Copies of this chain bind each other. A is one copy, B any other.
Amino acid sequence: MSVPRPNPLLSDRNVDFQLYEVLDTAALCALPAFQEHSRDTFDLLLDSTRRFARDVLAPTYRPMDATPPTFEHGRVRVHPAMRSLYADMVDLGLLTATRPPDVGGQQLPLTVNAASSVYLMAANLSAYGYLGLTLGAAHLLEAFGTPFLREQFMARMYRGEWTGTMALTEPQAGSSLADVKTRATPAPDGTFRLQGSKIFISGGDQDFTDNIVHLTLARIEGAEGGTRGVSLFAVPARRPEGDRFVPNDVQVAGVIHKIGWRGLPSLVLNFGESGDCHGWLVGQPGRGLACMFQMMNEARIMVGLNGVATASVAYQEALAYARERPQGRPTGDRDTARAQTPIIEHADVRRMLLRQKAIVEGGLALLLATSTQADLAHHAPDEAARQRAHLLLDLLTPIAKTFPAEKGFESNALALQIHGGYGYSSEYLPEAWLRDQKLNSIHEGTTGIQGLDLLGRKAVAGGGAALQALDEEVRATTARARAAGVEPAWSDALEDVLQQATALTLELGARGMAGEVEAMLRHSADFLELFSVVAVAWRWLAQAAAAKEALARDAPASTGDAPFYEGKLAAAQYWFAVEVPRVPLLVHLCRTGEDSYSRMHPDGF
């Protein structure tokens, strides 16, 4: 009964607008790292990714959701479609698009890769998941692996012959990585023997490649407690022994029945049940978390993109449904002899659509701006510029991870709501995307952890330098918006709320320095929320500026593009009218340290 039409996943017009009108992504080609590239090579990637996502990947989403992996005789079988899907993704160069030529990559900007991968995620989050995890594992070995590990493990992952995972979480430790208990005992051959149990290992087994490398946190025998005793190991499912590969004593102990991402198994893995699990140290002993965290921004940006993608595909579905579904009549019209109108004519349906648009497109804009800082952090020509970009990247990452997860979930629920009773049926897809979205507030650091990270570390980083850099970026945007003739009250409001947020950060930082850490961090969730509103307002103002410039420059009314730009201005208006005024309320909660829940006795609930 679902509406038969191809879902575009994302609006191409919007993605191009973000890359080339809001941002000047082509300008990245001036950096030495990207000098081989041009908008043409960017568009080549985008075009092939869009086509593959729509034509090949999207049709596999529903079958993979309906037929999750099975677990029999100790092995996981995933959906049979994965074998060719994975090979196709590898052939498209998606594993190495951003990697340097010395590992076989094209060294495209992360910004462009983010825009292209969001199509893949929107089409089939689980299928992309294998790729994303492999990329993360291979990248860790690229950064910290010995030549042996790079040649034997990394290269095979980048070539698509093996996949990779991140094996961090343990049943008793969850988010508390300081409590990791998996042990690593040095062996005479320089490797280690691992023993322990990991949980929620996504892609921890599959049957479409020959091998899987688990990048695993463990504690070397005798290491100190806490985070500084944790090291990183590469643990293959099958290990090289002479010229062949033998089972490496990694057992699948159970499958978690996830409510979404059902094409990607989440497993309990036992390492070394028979005492024969070999691991190769990656990086320095005791530096496991440091290595892992060096990749953390990347992983969290990927989660943010997952969130945007999942909200986007549902928004596109709801939009098409709202345009097609006749129901009711305009306010005051009771003539049932006339045909019913499409529900997009109803104000409240439009409200729900515009809220989704504001979240989806505001979220994508934030992710792309964050990715640009990642490109600059790696490749800006001078050290000061790289450092500044790194501070901004660090500051924006917890927001870019959380905003699409939290508001995306709300957006996905609105897409379901627009479908009415049909939305509550599993014959329509919005409910599936709603399930998928919920994981994004949990994995790669829960929303609670992102709030602590933003307030306790990132916002106060560099003695205020991070916020100073954000302030400069925002002022560049308000200057552009004012010059373009965007409603001046929006620029004023953005500068005002950023100033409030900055002053608040200094106050809270001082409280922390004075030892009142609990009081400082009490409202970290509200702090994250308010910075999200501000950051997305910044990106909506940039979009409004680009839209105004286009309306003035191109006289697009004649080209039919005016509604697109007017829609951008309406969404920006929505954000400044509905969301930005909430910031002072949230600032007030953080500043006063409103104590309802902190003073609540556990027996009082």
Q: A332 contacts which of B340, B353, B357, B517 (Cβ < 8 Å)?
A: B517
User: Residues of B contacting A451 with CB < 8 Å?
Assistant: 348
Confirm or deny: A475 has a beta carbon within 8 angstroms of a beta carbon on chain B. Answer: no
List the one stretch of A40-48, A51-59, A272-280, A581-589 in contact with chain B. A581-589
Task: Name which of A25-33, A98-106, A114-122, A520-528 contacts chain B.
Answer: A520-528
What chain B residues lie within 8 Å of A574 (beta carbons)?
A: 594, 596-597
B199 near A567 (CB under 8 angstroms)?
Answer: no
Residues of B within 8 A of A439 (CB): 424
The answer to whether B417 touches A441, judged by C-beta atoms less than 8 angstroms apart, is yes
Interface with B: A150-158, A173-181, A245-253, which one? A173-181
A73 interface residue per 8 A CB criterion = no
Contact with B along A561-596 (1 / 0, CB 8 A): 001101110110110011001100100110000101
A241 at the interface (CB under 8 A from B): no
Residue A427 is within 8 A (CB to CB) of chain B in the complex: yes
Is A146 among interface residues, defined by CB-CB distance under 8 A? no
Tell whether, in the assembled complex, residue A599 and residue B570 are in contact, meaning their CB atoms are under 8 Å apart. yes
Number of copies: 2
Task: Report the Cα distance A226→B349, complex, angstroms.
Answer: 22
Smallest Cβ distance from A289 to chain B, in angstroms? 13
> Number of contact residues on A: which range applies?
35 or more
Given A340-B179, A596-B573, the answer on whether A346 and B438 have CB atoms closer than 8 Å is no
- Given that A176-B328, A348-B524, A566-B604 are known contacts, is A585 also in contact with B594, CB under 8 Å in the complex? no
B426, A442: Cβ atoms closer than 8 Å:
no
Contact: B259 with A357, CB < 8 Å? Answer: no
Which chain B residues border A75 with CB–CB below 8 Å?
none
> Which of A174, A257, A347, A442 counts the most chain B CB atoms within 10 A?
A347
Contact of A425 with B by CB under 8 A: yes
Interface residues of A (CB under 8 A from B): 169, 172-176, 178-179, 199-200, 225-227, 256-260, 266, 319, 323, 326-329, 331-332, 334-337, 340, 344-351, 353-354, 357, 409, 413, 416-417, 420-421, 423-427, 431, 434-435, 438-439, 441-443, 446-448, 451-452, 517-518, 521-522, 524-525, 563-564, 566-568, 570-571, 573-574, 577-578, 581-582, 585, 588-589, 594, 596-605
